[in-house]
Chain A
Amino acid sequence: MALLEVEDLQTHFRTPDGINRSVDGVTFSIESGQTLALVGESGCGKSVTAMSILRLIPEPPGKMAGKIRFMGRNLLDLSDKEMRGIRGNDISMIFQEPMNSLNPVLTIGRQIGETLRLHQGLSQKEAEQRAVDMLSRVGIPEPTRRVGEYPHQLSGGMRQRVMIAIALACNPKLLIADEPTTALDVTIQAQILDLVRDLKTDIGAAILLITHDLGVVAEVADRVIVMYAGRKMEEASVPELFANPKHPYTEGLLGAIPRLGSSLRGATARLSEIPGMVPNLKKQIDGCLFSERCYKATDICRKIAPGLEEKAPGHVAACHYASKEMVPA
């Protein structure tokens, strides 16, 4: 049994002009000690997937269906009280917008310490000491001084690191990291990614990593899911996906990234773009959601949505034209 099993998750929002199918039938699982990356264009439902796992979707306007099994229990069946015991303890999350998730009137030290006292029963003093440790582990200079400061006194990158410190403080079994390093520079990013890797190897935590940065995916993830417009388009191991993308959308994403060292190879042509825009999630679309933008699309793509199919061992994609290798039965 995997640590987390998400089965046919649907998270929809009621809006004045229709239902927004933000997450529309997504299935995946994560084992302990494994890092699964979730990538895809802005608005494709990555954060909503993460918030659904933590049951942080406001209902209404949101509505969730499907199953989210964590250590065998379906989280969608738990009471709010049971859920609070899991959040910040067994499952912790680094949110995409650090400024909104820190309390502006509490010092940094209090905020880290609070989590520890609540979930691990540490004394005030122990919690404070641990907070200083955590701050220095995430690379904040002068941690003893910074514990006494308020969020507005820190730079954006520092606030992000404080969030990371809070998330790691309780040694969670599952860490959900939503764009954890976007606001950080690369040297600190390397340090944080190391920390996240440690968490995985030292205590066997599972990590759900949400990011736009395919470099980060290549570096720390084991498997990767490519999402598009609320659906899973492709899933494979990281080496397989980068070497052998099956979905034209994945191909497009990989083609659009600028590569370090490009000027040394004399190759600084225009970046390739994926033409067009993400479809409106409120409209019913019968065919493939990507067909409007796809260079391979034909009539069948516009009429019939392709199902997810195993195209190579451990490699699934939803595309009528993805090449299929021999998959042992």
Chain B
Amino acid sequence: MSPLLEVNGLKKHYSLGRPLFGHSREYVHAVDGVSFHIDKAETLSLVGESGCGKSTVGRAVLRLFPITAGEVRLGGERIDNLSAGRLRNMRRKVQVVFQDPVSSLNPRMRVRNILAEPIKNFGLVRSRAGLNARLDDLMKKVGLPADALNRWPHEFSGGQRQRIGIARALAADPELIVCDEAVSALDVSVKAQIVNLLQDLQRELGLALLFISHDLAVVEHMTHRVAVMYLGKIVELAPRHELFARPRHPYTVALLSAVPIPDPKAKRSRIILKGDVPSPINPPKGCRFNTRCPFVFDRCRSEEPELRPVEEGHLAACHLNDQPVSESQLRGVEAMARRIW
């Protein structure tokens, strides 16, 4: 059986208008050849630094723009080149929850109408009674009182608005929800509530989640697998335990080591990345991480490492994982990974 979502060789390049005199047109290589899949009822998290292309991947899956190359498949069917008519049904199956619950809800619509819109648009109910039953059910699912339906978005707190955002996504009866920094703006206690809610809904409805976040502790708490992106590419992809216990890419190790730990007594060794932060307009030759990698050697500057299996289900794109690499270098990454715990 094919996975729910398949992304193969996805590229998205943004053109930067107004080429400088005497120069050719420039492109932002926002996403530059990304492949992954998500199964039904599975959470795959996308992590990586700001600007590495996470949201762009999310938007490509939502089909919010034409992609530059590659393909996106939902339930085995290509959706990146669908006609408008067929697109509608696909849009129902893939929904999104954004970071900012405030600006993503129409302030001039009552909650009832915000939620009824997708239900009606996609023809999911036949009668007024059916609609009302569905709306009540949605409120229950996201833990809001039924009378919330008659109120306006500004009457709710940030956490409640995020619940409304989730209810709106659920209203379309989706199979996959793209959560783009969906819990990042929430404070500690509300974040815990929303994370628990997403996990409950996944269990109950068999939802798949593409969970985009820079909060690695939340990711570790709720994901099944993790894809680490760097400058438009996936550099490591592994099941949760594998990734957190035995990272095989120096960038992943650096990322994990940089997470602030809520324990003032914790003594972790931190890897502060030095060197130039490269630009997605002119990505470095060879490995894209070579300008900042503490383990860089000659081959990294000339040859781009492929994303290859290093263990069952664990992919990494780093020359250090190759056989000819010296013992000491390999020990370096492992030792570094061990030191951060």
* Chain A residues engaging chain B, CB cutoff 8 angstroms: 40-43, 139-142, 155-158, 182-191, 193-194, 212-219, 238-239, 242-243, 252-254, 256-264, 268, 270-274, 277-278
Contacts and interface: CB of A to CB of B under 8 A. Distances in A.
Contact of B218 (A182, A258, A278): A258
B245 interface: yes
Contacts of A239: 264-265
B217 A186 contact: no
Given A194-B272, A213-B260, A253-B188, A186 B214 contact: yes
Interface stretch (B47-55, B68-76, B125-133, B294-302): B47-55
Contacts of B191: 212, 256
Nearest to B281: A142
B255 A262 contact: no
Nearest to B245: A264
B195 A271 contact: yes
Q: Which 5 A-B pairs have the closest CB atoms?
A: A157-B50, A215-B260, A271-B192, A258-B221, A256-B192
B18 to A, nearest CB: 12
Contacts of B259: 186, 215, 260
A43 to B, nearest CB: 7
B264 A242 contact: yes
Contact of B188 (A139, A189, A214, A261): A214
Contacts of A156: 50
Nearest to B216: A260
Contacts of B244: 260-261, 263-264
B261 interface: yes
B190 interface: yes
A94 to B, nearest CB: 16
Given A43-B157, A239-B265, A190 B190 contact: no
Contacts of B185: 182
Nearest to A252: B189
B192 A272 contact: yes
Given A219-B261, A271-B196, A273-B193, A257 B214 contact: no
Interface string B186-203: 111111110110010000
A157 B189 CA distance: 24
Given A190-B270, A219-B260, A42 B218 contact: no
Contact of A189 (B158, B240, B258, B278): B258
Contacts of A252: 189
B220 interface: yes
A261 B215 CA distance: 13
Interface string B121-164: 00000000000000000000000000000000000011100000
A42 B192 contact: no
Interface string B248-265: 000000111011111111
Given A42-B187, A189-B260, A190-B270, A263 B220 contact: yes
B85 to A, nearest CB: 34
B321 interface: no
Contacts of B196: 270-271, 273
A218 B189 contact: no
Contact of B261 (A42, A157, A218): A218
Contact of B189 (A217, A219, A253): A253
Contacts of B270: 190
Nearest to B223: A263
Given A42-B157, A273-B193, A186 B216 contact: yes
Contacts of A193: 260
Nearest to A240: B264
Given A190-B272, A191-B272, A271-B192, A155 B50 contact: yes
Given A155-B50, A261-B341, A271-B196, A186 B255 contact: yes
B201 to A, nearest CB: 13
Chain A CB count within 10 A is highest, among B191, B218, B259, for B259
B157 A158 contact: no
A182 B192 contact: no
B325 interface: no
A189 B216 CA distance: 13
A272 B196 CA distance: 9
A56 B186 CA distance: 24
5 contacts: A41-B187, A157-B49, A215-B262, A258-B215, A263-B220
B188 A212 contact: yes
A85 B224 CA distance: 53
Interface string B161-192: 00000000000000000000000111111111
A304 to B, nearest CB: 25
B260 A277 contact: no
Contact of B255 (A158, A187, A212): A187
B204 interface: no
B87 interface: no
Contact of B51 (A157, A217, A253): A157
Nearest to B215: A258
B263 A264 contact: no
B262 A214 contact: yes
A191 B258 CA distance: 9
Contacts of A273: 189, 192-193, 196
A268 B263 CA distance: 18
Given A218-B260, A271-B192, A187 B157 contact: no
Given A186-B260, A263-B240, 17 more contacts: A40-B187, A158-B50, A182-B185, A184-B50, A187-B254, A187-B273, A191-B272, A215-B217, A219-B260, A242-B264, A253-B188, A258-B221, A260-B216, A262-B221, A263-B221, A263-B241, A270-B196
